[in-house]
A and B are shown apart, each in its own frame.
Chain A
Amino acid sequence: MTSVEIPSAVDERIERVWADRPGLLGFFTTVDHKRIGIRYIVTSFIFFFIAGLLALVMRAQLAVPNGTVVGADAYNQLFTMHGTIMIFLFNTPVLAGFGNYLVPLMIGARDMAFPRLNAFSYWIFVGAGLFMSLSFVLGKAPNGGWFAYVPLTDKTFSPGINLDFWGLGVAFVGISTTVGAVNFIVTIFKLRAPGMTVNRIPILAWSYVAMGFMVLFAVPAITVSSALLEADRLFGTKFYVPDGGGSALLYQHLFWFWGHPEVYILFIPAVGMVTTMITTFSRRPQAGYVWSVGALMGIAFISFGVWVHHMFATGLPTTAMGFFSAASFVIAIPSAVLYMAWIGTMWGGKVRFTTPMLFALGFLIIFLIGGITGVMVASLPFDLQVTDTYFIVAHFHYVLNGAVVFPIFGALYYWLPKMSGRMLSERLGKWSFWTMLVGFNVTFGPMHVLGELGMPRRIYTYDAGLGWAALNMVISLGSLLFAAGTLMTVANIVWSRKHGALAGDDPWQADTLEWSTTSPPPDQNFTAVPVVESLHPLWFPGPVRLAIPADVDTAARTQGEVGALERTTPITSGLDSLPEFEVLVPTPSPLPVLAALGVTIFFIGMLISAAFVLAVGGLVVLGGITTWAWRTEMDHP
């Protein structure tokens, strides 16, 4: 248990080489995973509230039969953009943001493996987000559903530019997701602190490994599906045109080959967050760690074999569909394992009812419903009745809103003190939680019933005589309650900036490494690199041991003590996490934002079919990335 005194001269120098450039220049050139992570979260939440607002307009329209708030086409744009924004511009990037911020801190690294790529990935997300938002400004938002089934979305049936925003935007944002996934995988495999052997990796980091691999295998499918769609639209190819030898069903297969894993891509990091919070607030080691990691990997794997359950009504052969029905049942087993691990952790622990823990418990209450209805819709005959009805809308909101957004809100309460150094109000947090919990269930619970009463999805209006009116009114009122609950958390965050109690390093007495550094952490995260001796390093065996910085004691370093020389981070072996060498961490650079700008110009060129714009964009990307690859990392200040 050697605590290291770091001479202040070394300390100052380390801080100097890690500092960002000041002002606006620093804003655009930073490669600090913490700044990028927070930025990801803030940007995503802006999209969350935009998409939420769209949902409220839809609920206003549907509150009464024959509503007149918006027209048919406007409504179609609303639900298309609500789904598209929530999936592509909120859920996916907000989890990338938390991962960006937390993964390096949790594994004791000083940054992500590829910090500039990380910045690039964020700016691509911003570019794609603005690209898709542009469609609103022009009043030509995509209106073909978030799934954009052909032939409705081909040039014949959707001649406008609306769908091009979708088709190109989806491929665009996919670059960001893919790049981010590579970064997570490499970071977690190679940048773990010395001693963080494979059985000491925090569950949250494991969840990002699982997510990363899923992204790598799933996202190409949607990139291909939307690229072929755009080829059909822009160049007149016939991939999806039955009369030209293409197949409309091919699109559905490609889309859902990504689409179902995507649900788990969003869900698995949320599982990591919930497990982390439950462990901390149960004050005991996580129950069934190995089981839970296995379950995450099992879900990641099986999720690639269930996509056809979105297509049960398409008339595929029953035998083939039976396979997918079975796989969809089987995926419930690893989910049950995870669930039991949560119960087991609490059972053996002493639970503290903090706001983040309440959100985790809310997650348990909601996710169980979403999981159970998930099993129901895996049953082929039942799915033939409920698919494309409000039952499905209810089901996937219990999963994607309840089981992903609740953990994300919990994570805000849990980790924001680390990010900002200030605690959120517990009182307001609990108000927010209970309002959201009640609002959520009042909104999405009755939708199950509506679906069974025959109400299809994606209809902008319905007749009074169908017996759907009362429940729709309840749902619309519930949605206001839910929205109010989310706004309370926003108010809480704003309030906490000035008035929140100081958090200190470890306000929750938590177990993982991010709590061993200051709140907010210094630019370099850890001045001296921690050495990990258990799965819960802050709990066992005691205070975290710090490695001796290299330039303090070279003798110790040769004995396997890895510190980090200036702007470096240690590289360790994949399984045993033995120190191998140190890598220089790239310095702030304008190249990522420049390259992302080039990509944006390129996609705008595609959108308006302008060769000149395309060429400019292409050249900027090429120039940016070449320069980026050319420069050696040694020329940092």
Chain B
Amino acid sequence: MVEGVIPRGAHCRTPLTRRRTTSLIVAIVAIVGALSACSSASPSMLDGKSPQADRISDLWWLMFALAVAVYVTVIAFVIVAAMRRRRSPGPDTSSDSGVSLRGDLLDDRVDRRFLLYGGLLLPVIVLGIIAVQTVRVSDSLQAATARVHIDVDAKDWWWRISYPNDGVVTANEIHVPVGESVQIALRSDNVVHSLWVPQLNGKSDVIPGETNYMTFIAAQTGIFRGQCAEFCGIEHAKMAFIVIVQTRADFEAWLASSRTPGVAAQTAQQRQGAQLVATTSCAGCHTIIGTAAIGTVGPDLTHVGSRQTLASDSLPNTPDGMVRWLTATQQVKAGALMPQIDLTAAQVAAITAYLESLK
């Protein structure tokens, strides 16, 4: 049996090891491929649009390279260790299968080598490299003095965005100028949330009773998706937002237009809509500056028509999207604090026409 087993093991070892290595390489290529291929569509942390996100993504690739090296090495040892003198699974009856003390004394030296080099030396070196990089990246995330200050209040389940120095309030849409250091102050008067824009920086929790800060410098213009990352109740999944990175001039223009009161209704249908908003329950929760609507529970609608999405990135802000939101509120976002309001089709059309005109 002994003679039968050992050559078989020796025979199998090489192809098996090679096959595993090959499949490992295939797996790694697949992972890297998936990460870069999907990144165009996904808000991927590895597709950084800021120095902060880039540094973290560099740290990831360093750790990934080390991980692959460690994994391949260690698993190679596992495979060799398991295969080098393997036996059949059944009860061991061969004469030399017994546990022998003599052989084990010899093995002790090998054991100690594994423990010292693999158990202590290897992890200390690898962890040392990662620890040094961790400290360096952590330090570099502390951005310079911010030029743009934004307050974000996390609500159930949307984001109030305000620019305290400019008197601008909006929702679920953070406008920032490109290439400038931005500081966001995060507050919550309800539950814990977490602000996360993977392409701009790591996340920061929003905790009642505390103020946290997030800083980043967006490196290029564009629209980057963010989402609440801390479970916050029934509609945690639909608490997204977008960050719109624009040139300084566009940003200034946006601030300027956002400072103005809501535009007055023009057409008869819009006027009917304005009337409905002021007299139905809409006004109890929403503000439209310059009108009777002064509620503060829901998003400010003064310039809702200029926003790109509705209901925290649940719907595109088109007339169709607005109609859907008004007619199927609790289907689009079950549990949303905005109730389903009983309106006729004509009333919905009027309100939609009015709100969409609020550019």
User: Which residues of A are interface residues toward B (Cβ below 8 A)?
Assistant: 71-73, 76, 143-145, 149-152, 157, 242-243, 247-249, 283-285, 287-288, 291, 295, 313-315, 318, 322, 325-326, 329-330, 332-333, 336-355, 357, 361, 364-365, 368-369, 372-373, 375-376, 379-389, 426, 446, 448-449, 452-462, 465-468, 471, 507, 509, 511, 536, 539-540
Contacts and interface: CB of A to CB of B under 8 A. Distances in A.
B231 interface: yes
Interface in B197-211: 198, 201-205, 207-210
Given A379-B134, A387-B203, A368 B74 contact: yes
Given A248-B207, A453-B35, A540-B101, 19 more contacts: A73-B334, A143-B234, A149-B191, A151-B192, A249-B209, A249-B210, A284-B107, A315-B210, A315-B212, A318-B138, A325-B131, A333-B123, A336-B119, A337-B119, A381-B55, A381-B202, A460-B237, A467-B40, A511-B99
B211 to A, nearest CB: 8
Interface stretch (B77-85, B251-259, B321-329, B343-351): B77-85
Contacts of B241: none
Contacts of B230: 149, 313, 388
Nearest to A285: B104
Contacts of B123: 332-333, 336
B182 interface: no
B107 A333 contact: no
A368 B123 CA distance: 12
**Interface residues of chain A: helix, strand, loop or mixed (majority):** helix
Contacts of B119: 288, 291, 295, 333, 336-341
Interface string B195-238: 01010011111011110110000000000010111111111111
19 contacts: A152-B232, A242-B209, A247-B209, A287-B107, A325-B131, A333-B124, A343-B78, A348-B110, A350-B86, A361-B82, A375-B126, A375-B127, A379-B137, A389-B229, A452-B35, A454-B43, A456-B196, A468-B38, A471-B34
A539 B205 CA distance: 56
Contacts of A426: 89
A375 B122 CA distance: 14
B209 A315 contact: no
Given A72-B235, A283-B97, A329 B91 contact: no
Contact of A452 (B44, B74, B92, B190): B44
Contacts of B60: 376, 382, 385, 452
Contact of B41 (A373, A452, A466): A466
B21 to A, nearest CB: 14
B45 interface: yes
Contacts of A338: 119
Given A315-B212, A352-B92, A467-B38, A344 B111 contact: yes
Contacts of B59: 379, 381-382
A379 B61 CA distance: 13
Nearest to A536: B99
Contacts of B122: 336
Q: Which of A243, A322, A329, A332 has the most CB of B within 10 A?
A: A329
B204 A315 contact: yes
B77 A343 contact: yes
Nearest to B206: A315
A329 B130 contact: yes
A263 B194 CA distance: 24
B67 interface: yes
A446 B38 CA distance: 13
Contacts of B84: 347
B70 interface: yes
B233 A157 contact: yes
Interface residues of B, number: 97
A313 B204 contact: yes
B115 A368 contact: no
B118 interface: yes
B238 to A, nearest CB: 8
The 9 closest A-B pairs by CB, nearest first: A384-B202, A242-B209, A348-B107, A467-B41, A459-B237, A315-B212, A337-B119, A454-B43, A467-B42
Contacts of B112: 288
B25 interface: no
B38 A453 contact: yes
A70 to B, nearest CB: 11
Nearest to A152: B191
B87 A350 contact: yes
A337 B115 contact: yes
B208 A151 contact: yes
Contact of A248 (B78, B134, B208): B208
A313 to B, nearest CB: 5
Interface string B95-129: 00111010110010011101100111011101100
B37 to A, nearest CB: 9
Contacts of A284: 99, 103-104, 107
A340 B135 CA distance: 28
A283 B190 CA distance: 60
A456 B120 CA distance: 35
B264 interface: no
Determine which residue in A247, A343, A466, A511 has the highest number of CB atoms from chain B within 10 A of its CB, and name it: A343
B319 interface: no
A299 to B, nearest CB: 13
A539 B285 CA distance: 78
Contact of A349 (B80, B85, B210): B85
Nearest to A332: B123
**Most chain A beta-carbon contacts within 10 A, residue among B98, B123, B208, B210:** B123
Contacts of B53: 385
Contact of A454 (B124, B225, B335): B225
B192 to A, nearest CB: 5
A72 B157 CA distance: 13
Nearest to A145: B231
A252 B359 CA distance: 43
A360 to B, nearest CB: 10
B67 A314 contact: no
B75 interface: yes
A385 B227 CA distance: 12
B86 to A, nearest CB: 5
A352 B56 contact: no
B231 A346 contact: no
B31 interface: yes
A71 B99 CA distance: 59
Given A151-B191, A151-B192, A333-B120, A352 B86 contact: yes
Contact of B78 (A365, A376, A448): A365
Contact of B42 (A71, A72, A454): A454
B114 A341 contact: yes
A524 B104 CA distance: 35
